[in-house]
Amino acid sequence: MNIKRTGRLIVFEGIDGTGKSTQLPLLAQYLESKGFMVTVTREPTDGAIGQKIRALYSSRENTTPEEELQLFLDDRKEHIEQVVGPALASGKVVLCDRYYLSTAAYQGANGFDPLEIIKRNNFAPKPDIALIFEQPIETSLERITTSRGEALNDFEQADSLKKVSAIFDMLDFPCIRRIQANDTIENIHRKVIEAVADSLEGLPVNS
């Protein structure tokens, strides 16, 4: 997908329970305080296809792995056309909670070749920075079940998360910055700011 991009795309990746959803709005607030124009978004989206994906959280039994993967691809195409592409073209910093590296990891754990999945996402703009949040799986499960008080969904089972974590560990692209997430919110926020700082050079800011 040919997008004239003057903005930056920063994506938040990692297994569930690593604190991505806490850190993303903190970074958004920080960037806005520095005068950057920011768009906050997520995948799966809140659109019709994204809602189909979220329905899989409670039951994946009636969807084949290929059908599930295709839903993620279709949702992403729509997301790029409607949200990500226009924001990048207008010089904004796009902060996205999950992107195609998550698809590679989670669908890779579901039986696909992770690198082949990334090839199938060649329509998607490459991230300027991909923050992969890392911590022990046991800590993530504890956060989900105890801190959040949630039951584990079909994507969050321990055996599956081990496979997902292993795939995230093997990914090696220049855009990746690894964030050790087993720390205080303040310390992690500082690490995130340091990880993205260089990519923001040259972007317009509001005075």
pLDDT beyond 60 at 147? no
pLDDT one-digit tens code per residue, 23-41: 999 999 999 999 999 999 9
pLDDT, greater one: 17 or 167: 167
Residue 205 domain flag: no
Residue 194 domain flag: yes
Q: Is the peptide bond before 125 cis (omega within 30 degrees of 0)?
A: no
Q: Note the pTM of the prediction, 2 decimals.
A: 0.90
Residue 13 domain flag: yes
Q: Collapsing DSSP states into helix, strand and coil, what is residue 93?
A: strand
Residue 139 domain flag: yes
For residue 61, the model assigns a pLDDT of: 74
Residue 3 domain flag: no
pLDDT one-digit tens code per residue, 181-202: 989 999 999 999 999 999 999 8
Number of domains in the chain: 1
Residue 184 belongs to a domain with what CATH number?
3.40.50.300
pLDDT beyond 60 at 139? yes
For residue 155, the model assigns a pLDDT of: 55
Residue 2 domain flag: no
For residue 137, the model assigns a pLDDT of: 72
> Which residue range(s) make up the domain with 157?
8-200
Task: List the beta bridge partners of residue 176.
Answer: 130
Residue closest to 9 by CA, chosen among 36, 39, 47: 39
